[in-house]
Amino acid sequence: MSKLKNIAVIGLGYVGLPLAVHLARHYPVTGLDIDPRRVQELKAGQDRTNEIDAGVLKASTLDITDQISAVENADVFIVTVPTPVDGNNEPDLTAVRGASKLVGGVLKKGDIVVYESTVYPGVTEDVAGPELEAASGLVCGS
């Protein structure tokens, strides 16, 4: 990790926000969320999941954004978007696909993408990886 400079956390919810705030104590971290209201609240120091106190949030060096261009320089992407199940108990991977497309659009050779979202075995390789490859033109794991 000592050689890795910039981290992007994608999805600033219950899982992503505390992770991003903690990592920001040691690394330059940008947190991206597609919900502009969530971004606005967090920038004002308000976390409605009550995981991070306003004082801690305001004092953090975490850069909060809803703009993908703000994470262009990241070397490590940590995806923490929701994976709900639908009415038939089927996992809804819309957010994982969407986040992968976003990340793939700015991915550079050698970058690392970590999926923290809860998924069934195989999703990283069979769903997320191909989305990253299609959007970036790069090859996973090569």
Ligand X SMILES: NC(=O)c1ccc[n+]([C@@H]2O[C@H](COP(=O)([O-])OP(=O)(O)OC[C@H]3O[C@@H](n4cnc5c(N)ncnc54)[C@H](O)[C@@H]3O)[C@@H](O)[C@H]2O)c1
Footprint of ligand X on this chain (CB under 6 A)?
10-16, 32-35, 38, 80-83, 95, 98-99, 102, 116-118
With CB atoms as reference, the residue minimizing the distance to ligand X is 13
How far apart are CB 128 and ligand X at their closest, in Å? 12
- DSSP string across 74-132: -SEEEE-----B-TTS-B--HHHHHHHHHHHTT--TT-EEEE-S---TTHIIIIIHHHH
- Toward ligand X, which CB reaches closer, 92 or 125? 92
Asked whether 43 and 65 are in contact (CB, 8 A), the reply is no
- Toward ligand X, which CB reaches closer, 5 or 37? 37
- Rounded distance between C-alpha atoms, residue 38 and residue 17, angstroms: 11
- Toward ligand X, which CB reaches closer, 35 or 126? 35
- Rounded distance between C-alpha atoms, residue 81 and residue 98, angstroms: 9
- Toward ligand X, which CB reaches closer, 13 or 28? 13
How far apart are CB 57 and ligand X at their closest, in Å? 14
